[in-house]
Amino acid sequence: MSALADLDRRVADCRACPRLVEWREEVARTKRAAFADWTYWGRAVPGFGPADAKLLIIGLAPAAHGANRTGRMFTGDRSGDVLYRALYDVGLASRPTAVSADDGLTLRGVRITSPVHCAPPENKPTPAERDTCRPWLVEELRLLRPTVRAAVVLGAFGWQAALPAFAAAGWDIPRPRPPFGHATRVRLAGLDLFGCFHVSQRNTFTGKLTPEMLRDVLREAAGAAGLPTEG
Ligand code: SF4
């Protein structure tokens, strides 16, 4: 088993945050009517994508009836519909939809993870939960360090959570820390960090983040990572 696969297995078994463990399991028991015939994952959701990824996408936390149901990052919810469609459109995903962990979708040189691995109530992890989960992201970053050359961080929460993790994994982060912004690009030694509005329904329904804006950031980040794109 690769070191990253071993990390993913250990993440899935994590029970370090009592409130989140209770919530993810409660949601998995009660379900949403539309998914009544699903066996929910109901555990921490590990990162998704190859161990030699050049581009890392960092979200916020799994959705209660999305990744907490399917067991794969951004899979089975509206945010994921937008993200995977855009990844497919620029040539970084093998198919435009992500519906279940066994749907055959693969990512090309891209890995998707989050600073909090368990679904939080109202999509809001506490600062303490974010800090408790950080060592998982730090370990993932250390394992990806030989290949990763760019990262796209979705939203301000992810940005605030990710920067200390990058620092702990060995990258020099400027002080004061660069603020989050859409299409912000921060050049670190050996890695370019991009900000992007989160693919949340609130942002995509209101047009704050359009598919074109998302594709533009993904294309620029892929270029920085040395990944070919299409479209
Ligand atoms: S949020 Fe992170 S640290 Fe907390 S239980 Fe889930 S995987 Fe463990």
Count of other CB atoms within 10 angstroms of residue 131: 14
pLDDT value at residue 230: 86
pLDDT band, very low/low/confident/very high, at 71 (cuts 50, 70, 90): very high
- What is the pLDDT, as a whole number, of residue 21? 98
- pLDDT digit string (tens) for 130-159? 999 999 999 999 999 999 999 999 999 999
pLDDT tens readout for residues 161-194? 999 999 999 999 999 999 999 999 999 999 999 9
DSSP state string for 116-181: --SPPGGG---HHHHHHHHHHHHHHHHHHTTT--EEEEESHHHHHHHHHHHHHTTPPPPSSPPPP-
pLDDT per residue as tens digits for the range 110-136: 999 999 999 999 999 999 999 999 999
Amino acid letter, residue 114: S
The Å distance, Cα 33 to ligand 1 centre, comes to 26
> Nearest residue CA, atom 6 of ligand 1?
118
The residue extents of the domains of the chain are 3-225
Q: Residue 192: what residue type? A: D
Spatial distance between the Cα atoms of 191 and 145, rounded to a whole number of angstroms: 9
For the structural domain made of 3-225, what CATH number should be given? 3.40.470.10
Residue of the nearest CA to atom 2 in ligand 1? 133
Q: Which residue, by CA, sits nearest to atom 3 of ligand 1?
A: 133
Which whole number is the average pLDDT over 42-55? 98
Residue 213 CA to ligand 1 center (angstroms) comes to 31
Q: Which residues line ligand 1 (CB under 6 A)?
A: 11, 14-17, 20-21, 44, 116-118, 129, 132-133, 136
Q: Which atom of ligand 1 is nearest to the CA of 20?
A: 5
Instruction: State the distance from the centre of ligand 1 to the C-alpha of 69, rounded, in angstroms.
Output: 16
Per-residue pLDDT tens digits for 94-110? 999 999 999 999 999 99
